[in-house]
Chain A
């Protein structure tokens, strides 16, 4: 073992770690404190004498109440949730089938197809949003959830395919061959032998895809226009700011409530998420 002195451990370990933890989490703490502060305390000049910004002695839930009762926020949560679930499901299905084909089957152009799926993985949504908005209009999908359910897979499928392809390659071929000798068809071996083994990989890809769709902003901003159809990120940006006025208490309450579902999903499946994350960059 590498032996080290006490002061060295403080300087090179405890202090930097503390700085990282505080720096990373402070904005979330700040979000929470702002969300439960009454307006009277919120808007005090930065140099005001009686200003104590880091805590409040009069916590209130009025911002949450207003948000849930006076805005369509609950509706946005619901929209975001089912759009994320539906696009994740579509992407997982496509990714499973395509990943299996690319990992296991021999067919002409397999290499070229694999490379082009990898390249589309790297195409950012901001490159395509202007023509895509036009296409969505042409397909009569504008201002419907389908506009997002069908376009989110464009950045989710390549990722799911990539991740699951890698996963399938780690499953020994012999398993399938045994099943086939016992009389299973190709499709049977795929769905009954390989897919069940790949469940951890499917879960990783699914969790990661879910957080990505929950996060998506630009397509939702452009394709949806009615307030009651919006997703959380877009609703918070476009509906909670009236004119030029920012209602910070309500905004932070919305940011907090909009983050909780995805944070919960993440906390239950940290290990799978991390596998998905690190798998997403592995060749």
Chain B
């Protein structure tokens, strides 16, 4: 392949060729090859494409094949069509898991957005110790979820719960609350923990968005007689909308595909009432060994994820176009 070489670089290369070191010559030749924009792009992108191809694209194709087969641990695969999907859909635990995932994602995202926005507005003010408070607010997001969820599980413990103790001492309750021993309570506890963990992410990203808003706008609005709520609704919110959309999309994907929080907090119990799609797929696919059925259950996430990603790409395109 003949490479068109940029003038400056070419003359430099010719000077180098005069040197006696053959290693240097070879390296120069290699660099000259990389002067071609396409070849260079190819070389730079290969590691990424190979890794993502081997560990995302290939497993994805395999996953689709698994879901259409009756493969299980140690057993060869036979094509069975959509049987796994039909079986999952007729399974009451699967339906509970699907419904739980939807409820969990919906409410956790709403709470994270509302509280995160509130916290961002509070942190956007000037006060003593602002940097320290801001930094410490991100801790729930930094600390490994599994480890902090253990602290929550201990706080929700049926016999030793500190929350029960506090409410009891305050005279709010007489008998203990069934935090994780009742299915409905347990799901709401998981929503609360997820909100606690993800809210800082909303707060800090929205805060970064708030800091780009010119304070003159707020002053002008308040001179025109707008109160705090109106200023938020007509000045802050429209300007924050692009970053909010992206943060919400990220959060929906993370929450919808969540695994570790439920795995540690309830393990799907009591009586399979708090499974999410991911934990149920794990139970069927890994714990029971029915790989085909497990793969089908986790693929049920795909339409929702696809819809969300598609909506976001469209929104980003629209913003770029505007």
Q: Which residues of A contact B (CB under 8 A)?
A: 1-2, 12-13, 16-17, 20-21, 23-25, 27-28, 30-31, 34, 42-47, 51, 53-54, 90, 93-95, 97-98, 100-102, 105-108, 110, 113, 115, 117-120, 122-135, 150-151, 153-154, 157-158, 161, 180-188, 211, 214-215, 217-218, 222, 232-234, 236-237, 246, 248, 251-252, 254-255, 258-259, 262-263, 266-267, 270, 273-274, 277-278, 280-283
Q: Of residues 295 to 311 in B, which have CB atoms within 8 Å of A's CB atoms?
A: 295, 298-299, 301-302, 305, 308-309
Please pick, from B41, B152, B161, B286, the residue contacting A101 in the complex, using a CB distance under 8 A. Answer: B41
A135-B58 contact, Cβ under 8 Å, with A17-B133, A119-B309: yes
Residues of chain B with a CB closer than 8 A to A20's CB: 115, 119, 122, 137
Residues of chain B with a CB closer than 8 A to A106's CB: 37
Write the nearest CB–CB distance from B264 to chain A, whole angstroms: 6
Q: Give the CA-CA distance A165 to B107 in the complex, in Å.
A: 34
Q: Give the CA-CA distance A20 to B250 in the complex, in Å.
A: 23
Is B146 within 8 A of A217, CB to CB? yes
Is B62 within 8 A of A135, CB to CB? yes
Is A45 within 8 A of B45, CB to CB? no
Residues of chain B with a CB closer than 8 A to A46's CB: 159-162, 164-165, 168, 176
Residues of chain A with a CB closer than 8 A to B200's CB: 24
Interface residues as binary, B110-132 with A (CB distance below 8 Å gives 1, 0 otherwise): 00000100110010010100000
Is B154 within 8 A of A252, CB to CB? yes
* A-B contacts at CB below 8 angstroms, number: 306
A278-B205 contact, Cβ under 8 Å, with A157-B52, A266-B142: yes
Is B147 within 8 A of A259, CB to CB? yes
Is A274 within 8 A of B143, CB to CB? no
Q: Give the CA-CA distance A183 to B302 in the complex, in Å.
A: 50
Residues of chain A with a CB closer than 8 A to B183's CB: none
Q: Give the CA-CA distance A127 to B45 in the complex, in Å.
A: 25
Q: Give the CA-CA distance A255 to B32 in the complex, in Å.
A: 53
Is B62 within 8 A of A24, CB to CB? no
Interface residues as binary, B73-112 with A (CB distance below 8 Å gives 1, 0 otherwise): 0000000000000000000000000000000000000000
Residues of chain B with a CB closer than 8 A to A266's CB: 138, 142
Please pick, from A110, A153, A187, the residue contacting B34 in the complex, using a CB distance under 8 A. Answer: A187
A126-B278 contact, Cβ under 8 Å, with A46-B164, A113-B45, A131-B62: yes
Is B305 within 8 A of A127, CB to CB? yes
Is A248 within 8 A of B154, CB to CB? yes
Q: Give the CA-CA distance A215 to B261 in the complex, in Å.
A: 12
Is B47 within 8 A of A120, CB to CB? no
Residues of chain A with a CB closer than 8 A to B277's CB: 126
Q: Give the CA-CA distance A185 to B6 in the complex, in Å.
A: 9
Write the nearest CB–CB distance from B296 to chain A, whole angstroms: 10
Please pick, from B41, B51, B148, B313, the residue contacting A27 in the complex, using a CB distance under 8 A. Answer: B148
Q: Of residues 45 to 73 in B, which have CB atoms within 8 Å of A's CB atoms?
A: 45, 47-49, 51-52, 54-56, 58-60, 62-63, 65-66
Residue on B nearest A260 in the bound complex, by CB: B143
Q: A123-B60, A183-B9 are in contact. List 9 more A-B contacts (CB 8 A).
A: A2-B218, A28-B151, A42-B160, A101-B40, A122-B253, A182-B8, A185-B13, A186-B34, A262-B142
Residues of chain A with a CB closer than 8 A to B161's CB: 46
Residues of chain A with a CB closer than 8 A to B12's CB: 183-185
A131-B66 contact, Cβ under 8 Å, with A27-B151, A100-B44, A186-B34: yes
Residues of chain A with a CB closer than 8 A to B253's CB: 122, 124
Is B59 within 8 A of A16, CB to CB? no
Residue on B nearest A241 in the bound complex, by CB: B150
Residue on B nearest A220 in the bound complex, by CB: B146
A258-B144 contact, Cβ under 8 Å, with A46-B165, A122-B305: yes
Is B281 within 8 A of A24, CB to CB? no
Is A126 within 8 A of B142, CB to CB? no
Is A13 within 8 A of B151, CB to CB? no
Write the nearest CB–CB distance from A107 to chain B, whole angstroms: 4
Please pick, from A44, A252, A267, the residue contacting B151 in the complex, using a CB distance under 8 A. Answer: A252
Residue on A nearest B201 in the bound complex, by CB: A277
Residue on A nearest B165 in the bound complex, by CB: A46
Asked if B184 is at the interface (CB within 8 A of a chain A CB), the reply is no
Is B56 within 8 A of A128, CB to CB? yes
Residues of chain B with a CB closer than 8 A to A270's CB: 135, 138
Most chain B C-beta atoms within 10 Å of own C-beta, residue among A2, A126, A182: A126
Please pick, from B152, B260, B302, the residue contacting A217 in the complex, using a CB distance under 8 A. Answer: B260
Q: Give the CA-CA distance A123 to B143 in the complex, in Å.
A: 22
